[in-house]
Amino acid sequence: MKRRLLHALTVATVVFSGTAVVAAPASASDAWGIVCNLRQNTWLRAEPHGHVLLTLTAGRGFRWHGQVSAVDDDVWIYGHGAEHPSVDGWVPAGNTTC
User: Can you tell me whether residue 13 is helix, strand or coil?
Assistant: helix
Residues with Cβ within 8 Å of 90's Cβ and at least 6 positions away in sequence, in order, are 44, 45, 46, 47, 48, 50, 69, 76, 77, 78
Does this model's pTM top 0.85? My answer is no
Position 73 scores a pLDDT of 86
Strand partners, 31: none
Query: pLDDT tens digit string along 36-74?
Result: 999 999 999 999 999 999 999 999 999 999 999 998 889
Higher pLDDT, 48 or 27: 48
* Rounded distance between C-alpha atoms, residue 53 and residue 31, angstroms: 19
